Amino acid sequence: MLFGIFFVFWRFFEIITLVPIVGMLGYSVDIYLNNNVMTPASVLVLFIVSVLALVWAILTLFSYHRSKAHANFVAIIDLAFVGAFIAGVYYMRFITRADCTSIQRGSQVDRQFGILGISGSIRFDTFEVNVNKTCAMFKASFAFGIINCILFFCTALLACIYGDRSAKERRRYEERRSSRHRSHSGHRSHRSSHSHSRAYV
């Protein structure tokens, strides 16, 4: 029961943090495709990983009882996603040194954005700050990617612990069943030998 509560909570949190990545990077990928420009690996890797992870998280959330029965398999896939998110975050590491309030045209970060480097800025009049929209989206996606590394590691750990516990419970159940079967068959053989001895007297 406790495993179920924690697992569903973390899965739900994963979905909440994956949807913004898919939305923001999907918007960027769509612009690249519409302009017949190859999507940079820095965007594409994290986008593909996030889409696959979102599908996996939704499937395992709605088929929770089946996931419970295959906890070790769920743990392995979740660990694979941890590695995939680390790769996606690594490819987008260039965004860590970017200041989204002052992206210089022609700078290294601007070149990484490609055609998205010319996209407009978000203006906050109250604070008199201009934030480059592309930079803000990539930085948010980068942060959510790191969060999902941690979240998928937690769900993998939960599934692994539950899988070990389930295996132990199954072994105990099989041992009890076999011992019951042995005692029952021993009792039957004792009764049978006793009845035969009575018949010969």
pLDDT digits (tens, 9 = 90+) for 48-101: 999 999 999 999 888 766 666 678 888 999 999 999 999 999 999 988 887 777
- pLDDT tens digits, residue range 140-186? 999 999 999 999 999 999 888 875 554 444 555 455 555 555 655 55
- Quote the tokens at residue 103: 């992206």
Of residues 151 and 189, the one with the higher pLDDT is 151
How is the chain split into domains, by residue range? Answer: 2-96+145-176
Highest-confidence range of 5-9, 40-44, 167-171, 181-185, by mean pLDDT?
A: 40-44
DSSP type of residue 40: P
Give pTM, 2 decimals. Answer: 0.73
pLDDT grade for 36, boundaries at 50, 70 and 90: confident
Query: Looking at per-residue confidence, does 1 or 74 come out higher?
Result: 74
- Answer yes or no: are the C-beta atoms of 68 and 4 closer than 8 Å: yes
Calculate the average pLDDT of the chain.
Answer: 77
User: What is the H or E stretch that residue 1 is in?
Assistant: none
Q: What is the reported pLDDT for 108?
A: 55
Outline where DSSP puts E strands in the chain.
121-124, 129-132
